[in-house]
Amino acid sequence: MEILYRKNYKELLGYLPFVKVTLKDWMFVDIRITDFSDKELTVANAAESVRALFRSHEGKLFVCNDREILMIIRWGRNNPPSPIADHVSKALPEKGCSVFVHEPTVAGVAKLEILITYRKPLSEPTFADIRALRRENVVIVADDDMFMRSLVKKGVGAHYTVIEIADGGEIFETYKKSVPDVLFLDIHMPNVDGMAVLQQILAIDANAHIVMLSADSSRENVEIATQQGAKGFLTKPFTKERLQDFLNKCPTIF
């Protein structure tokens, strides 16, 4: 099936006498795209998608303007028009499709009108969206010291969902799955260092609320952590009150 544009209008007119010979075998399909929410979609893209579906059929696709396509297709006598509508609907993903079957003309020409509202697929929810819609607060404590993890869980576990991680290599994937409000992250973690994890997470979630943990609260450690995006630095061992202070500073904690 060939695609013709307005400059090829005479070629379309020259094709019509061929159609008239077996007129009742043909169907005229008016495809109108009523909304382009996705700026990357053009009527030319739509025409190419439709042609790919019907390339084995005789006919022409005529691009009338930037919203309309006329398809003249040899569909066969007495064949229902619904398969055409189904195929066209599937050619352009994420859209609404309305089909109107017109009565044949006096000359016996079958006509089908398809209105397509093309909308860009909804984007995946962001980390901020997930936190805003969630009915609980989630805290991750990543520390290879079981005592420290237990200290956090006992300190705040009655009010928050607490996830414990002992291996630095597991933090990134667990973070993406659980989308915590706060991550308490030990600087010295096995397999993947805490500072490296900090950079990985901030690369995908700029609003991540990460508090670094360490027994070494030297000015250098504190400055490096905060310069790289950590929201705070908690020296081990810590009290329940100090832990809660950092949670209270998180804007998504309720």
Instruction: Identify the pLDDT of residue 56.
Output: 82
pTM of the full predicted structure?
0.54
| Residue 29 backbone phi and psi in degrees, to 5 | -115, 115
Pairing of the two strands 68-74 and 59-63: antiparallel
Q: Residue 212 CB: number of other CB atoms within 10 A?
A: 25
**The dihedral of CA 244, 248, 249, 251: what is its sign?**
positive
- Alpha carbon 212 to its chain centroid, in Å, reads 32
Per residue of the chain (254 residues), give pLDDT as tens: 888 887 888 888 888 888 888 888 888 888 877 665 555 567 777 788 788 878 888 888 888 887 788 888 888 877 777 777 777 766 665 555 566 666 666 666 677 777 766 555 555 788 988 888 888 899 999 999 999 999 899 888 888 999 999 999 999 999 999 999 999 999 989 999 999 999 999 999 999 999 999 887 667 777 888 888 999 898 888 888 999 999 999 999 98
Q: Please tell me the distance from the alpha carbon of residue 62 to that of residue 36, in angstroms, as a whole number.
A: 19
- Alpha carbon 170 to its chain centroid, in Å, reads 25
Contact 79, 57 (CB under 8 A): no
Instruction: Identify the pLDDT of residue 210.
Output: 95
Helix (H) / strand (E) containing 237: none
Q: Which of 94, 110, 99, 97 is nearest to 23 (CA)?
A: 110
Instruction: Identify the pLDDT of residue 93.
Output: 53
Pairing of the two strands 2-4 and 68-74: unpaired
The distance between the two most distant Cα atoms of the chain, rounded to a whole number of Å, is 91
Classified as helix, coil or strand, 129 is helix
- How far the first Cα of the chain sits from its last, in Å, is 61
Contact 234, 242 (CB under 8 A): yes
| Residue 248 backbone phi and psi in degrees, to 5 | -65, -25
The tokens for 121 are 């697929």
